[in-house]
Amino acid sequence: MSVQQEAGVGGEALEVWIDQDLCTGDGICAQYAPEVFELDIDGLAYVKSPQDELLQDKGATTPVPLPLLTDVIDSAKECPGECIHVRRVSDRAEVYGPDAG
C-alpha cells in the first residue's frame, strides 16, 4: 500500500468525519493531524479533502492517509467533544470514536 492510498484496519480503507454539533473547538485534532483537520472561522473543526480543501458539508468524510492513521486515531481518542468518527469505507462501521463497538 502506498502512502497515497487510504489507511485501513486489516487493509481496509478508512474515512473520518466530524460531528460539528458536538465539536467544542479545542483544536486538538488540528494539532495532531493538520493535514486532515482544520478549524474554520466559525471556531469548529472540519475535515479536509486530499486536495487540502475544507469540507463544510454536514457529515462530509475524507480518506485517512496511512502515514496519518495514528494521528487521526489519537485525535478521535483525545477529542473532548467526542465528535471525531473513523469508520471503514466498506460497511461504514465505526472503528474509532464515540460510536466504535
- Give residue 29's pLDDT: 97
Give the position of cell 488540528: 30
**86 within domain boundaries:** yes
- Give residue 57's pLDDT: 96
DSSP code for 52? S
Which residues make Cβ contacts (< 8 Å) with residue 1, sequence separation at least 6? 11, 66
State how far the Cα of 75 lies from the Cα of 85, in Å rounded to an integer: 10
Q: Average pLDDT for consecutive 10-residue bins of the chain (101 residues)?
A: 46 92 96 97 97 96 96 96 96 94 79
**3 within domain boundaries:** no
**40 within domain boundaries:** yes
**79 within domain boundaries:** yes
**63 within domain boundaries:** yes
Give the domain extent around 54: 9-96
**pTM beyond 0.85, yes or no:** yes
CATH number for 30: 3.30.70.20
Helices (H), 1-48: 28-32
What total of structural domains would you count in the chain? Answer: 1
- Give residue 10's pLDDT: 63
Beta-ladder partners of 65: 6
**1 within domain boundaries:** no
State how far the Cα of 11 lies from the Cα of 78, in Å rounded to an integer: 24
- Give residue 1's pLDDT: 35
**14 within domain boundaries:** yes
**50 within domain boundaries:** yes
